Amino acid sequence: MDGFIKAAAGRNKVDLLLKNARLVNVLSGEITREHVAVYNGRICGFGEYKACRVIDIENNLLLPGYIDGHIHIESSMTTVSEFARAVVPLGTTAVIADPHEIANVLGLDGIKYILESSKYQPLEVYLTIPSCVPATSIETSGAVISAGDIFPYLSQRWVVGLGEMMDFTGVIKGEKNVLDKLKLISDKKIEGHAPGLCGKDLSAYISAGITSDHESTAIEEAREKLRKGMHIMIREGTVTKNLIDLLPLVKDLNASNFSFVSDDRSPGDLIDKGHMNHIVRKACREGMNPVVAVMLATINTARYFGLRNHGAIAPGYKADMQVLKSFKSRCPLMVFKNGRLVAEKGKIKKLPRKPKDVHIRGSVNVKWLEPGNFTVKASGPSVRAIKLVPDQIITLQKKYKTPERDGFLVSDPSRDLLKICVVERHRSSGNVAVGMLKGMGIKEGAIATSVSHDSHNIVATGVEDSDIMAACVEVIKMGGGLAAVKDGKTVEKLSLPIAGLMSEEPVEKVNKNLKKVIIAARKMGAAPPDPFFILSFLCLPVIPEIKITDKGLVDVKKMKHAELFIK
């Protein structure tokens, strides 16, 4: 402390002086010309200082490092090391990660894996401890995490709160196992997950101590949540894009109550579009004041989660900074973490200490599959189907004339009605659920994936039962992953052996193989840009209106099973 004070006062040399910066000051809302001094990893002052190292940034912009306020790193399909290698050169220096994807597969071992993998990275990874493992009781997950399991983690420095409370019906009904988790939280945040919730139910949900939400898709929904005290996280992810719809709600007097988050970001989007830098640039293109856009990606998130000395460039703050030519620039010229140059011109620098290699057990345990597992007798004139909504993870519940052959339910690609099947993969229970899907567009073959939020059972869709089964078998053989099958043969695949969610390969290779399997699915007729990403959310029984788990169709609004056939 004494050395830092002396350095700030100009009595000691500073470690680094960044000269001739156009400083984006998210505290005052200004852009000013400054020299910025750094000592022992923190900003110590503005102006002329004697320094061990001087870098002239030549009147370029100097911004705080971006903070993603809500992300599931598992969605990048890469390890924490590879995720950091992808996002740090783009200006992201910290994330708030909710590891509930891997926790639903591996329980506490999954949380420990993320924590251990995050050590010695050029990226600070803070966690919110998953609150809903499993998300609901109407699916089979690989683990159950209780209030007693959560408690020891809440005192850890890297844990900033309780992860998104998806079981909003459990909160509103006052279910004991849900309230027990909420009661553990005193001085940390409880993240929300309340799609479409409004009125008295929303008030009840907020009254339980839940103070944020990232699920708003319409401006009036977000407005009510804002008025009732919620911190609104504007999500711009790979599948769900809400920025354009919600941005008009942000005004000068309420901007401090908003943050930008990505939630889920595919490896392709990380490489081709970016991370938080993409969101900030898009907000600027939509007319937002650039300084305000930076605030939503830095200081607002830091303050919401109580991250002291994060998110701004001012004396005492961590020297997490990025240098940009302009707000239109895709990639920073330089990125600093704790005052050390960690990335330059889009490339990560060599780290002083190699991150830990962390190993984890296999996670695919499926009872032997038979062709009969995928057949269902047609027992009604109409069938209840899951209808996709473009660019959203919400779905619609629709009724169609039953497609059948010889008395059995079949896919009817001429009407874009496909079978969708979920195979339980954690406990060898033998559960296989069959439903119908509208909007995927596949004309031949089948696709399958072990990435299926949140319990991550194997989900597959396609035309012929034999191809659907073959795709599931390929995923099992890989120990998790994505597969595209045609005429019983695997066309393309992507292996994800870490919890069936992540690869140990470089992010570029993961993206290359992911693109191959996506292209294969598109050649089969798949309509969505990334059919696997869309497929992965169709098992999420906390997002309206209708989803499917290994136990059958789920009416999300009623939070109960729905019959496949309508008589």
What is the structure's pLDDT at 533? 87
Residue 353 has pLDDT above 90, yes or no: no
Residue 2 has pLDDT above 90, yes or no: no
- Mean pLDDT confidence for 15-22: 98
Tokens 């059948």 correspond to 404
Residue in 550, 524, 86, 296 with CA at minimum distance from that of residue 561: 550
The CATH number assigned to the domain with range 65-312 reads: 3.20.20.140
Domain ranges of the chain: 65-312, 371-566
What is the structure's pLDDT at 562? 95
What is the structure's pLDDT at 169? 87
What is the structure's pLDDT at 204? 97
Tokens of 147: 């209030």
- pLDDT tens-digit readout, 457-513: 999 999 999 999 999 999 999 999 999 999 999 999 999 999 999 999 999 999 999
Least confident interval from 47-61, 97-111, 133-147, 287-301? 133-147
- pLDDT tens-digit readout, 229-273: 999 999 999 878 999 999 999 999 999 999 999 999 999 999 999
Q: At a CB cut-off of 8 Å and minimum separation 6, what does 467 contact?
A: 445, 446, 485, 486, 487, 488
Residue 379 has pLDDT above 90, yes or no: yes
CA dihedral for 132, 133, 136, 137, sign (positive or negative)? negative
Question: Could you give the CA distance from residue 211 to residue 259 in angstroms, rounded to a whole number?
Answer: 13
- The CA-atom distances, in angstroms, between 250 and each of 69, 102, 234 are 17, 34, 10
Single-letter amino acid, residue 378: A
- Mean pLDDT confidence for 209-220: 96
- pLDDT tens-digit readout, 112-123: 999 999 999 999
Q: Residues, the chain, total?
A: 567
Mean pLDDT score of the chain = 95
Residue 1 has pLDDT above 80, yes or no: no
With pLDDT > 70 as the criterion, what percentage of the chain qualifies? 100
Q: How confident is the model at residue 567 (pLDDT cuts 50, 70, 90)?
A: confident
- pLDDT tens-digit readout, 307-328: 999 999 999 999 999 999 999 9
Question: Could you give the CA distance from residue 20 to residue 23 in angstroms, rounded to a whole number?
Answer: 9
Question: Could you give the CA distance from residue 234 to residue 246 in angstroms, rounded to a whole number?
Answer: 7
Q: How confident is the model at residue 80 (pLDDT cuts 50, 70, 90)?
A: very high
